[in-house]
Structure 1
């Protein structure tokens, strides 16, 4: 197996660590293998879109989700480091409203599988970070929603000092008690 898969405190959210082959020339690893993903992470997933963002230190993006056309996301960092966060928004889940956080970096090569039904976001810890992710559905701006990043009801322990740099839509995120959620 070229990947090691570990569940987070939210069992459906998985950390994927590839086998990295390295020497004095550099390194090589498979960043995605559909067969291994289906066998060890989740079967039946089809990715339809790849996204790439670059952000400066202190930028927090999220916590985003689509209330219709819910997206699964396979996320990773190719430059720098982020603290990646996922929140369970499925009312039927025993983990409804709980969160998991994972450090992702270009050095650790970790990826996180975020299934549909979860909000997702990250904060940049390095001077800059480039963040790549695959999605299982397209972006529909009319269905995009945002949870407030610092809602005390969720209680995310962001590893930052002070306020992050936010987009207007993220600063206007909804509190968990007012958010649209999944069944």
Structure 2
């Protein structure tokens, strides 16, 4: 019981810490912003979100869980996990495509994770829902492992048109969070 309480406390503490940065990103981008964690080694869980100001927006429920390889936050977290954790994910995950763009097998996931590590961000381009795109960056601990990820999500046409601006907002928020935590 104590460990469950500590897990809940740590999630609440993380939410209270990142929420102002999500709010700032949502105000500047007009899009919905999320914070997510890897919940059970297989699913990403959305632990916080701030709705964008645009009329058409993504509205994910807090507590919603999805296979990590289908989401930008999940892939951002997986890319910065140990090789052992990634291999465990591959053994446990179901690679059933949600959309035609979804990652369909372990080799595709491994290539994608390599790309994310080199670029520093992840993208879900209609992999979880047609018409929606999400950019995410990991929040890393002192050993370089991701403990969470933050993201900006919205309609694909707007997201692609503003990709550089969204990535700059994410990078700035991640830098501020990292400076404050360490």
TM-score of the two chains, using structure 1 as the length reference = 0.29
Highest CA radius of gyration, 1 or 2?
1
Higher relative contact order (CA 8 A, sep 6+): 1
Which one has a larger percent helix, Structure 1 or Structure 2?
A: 2
Which one has a larger percent strand, Structure 1 or Structure 2?
A: 1
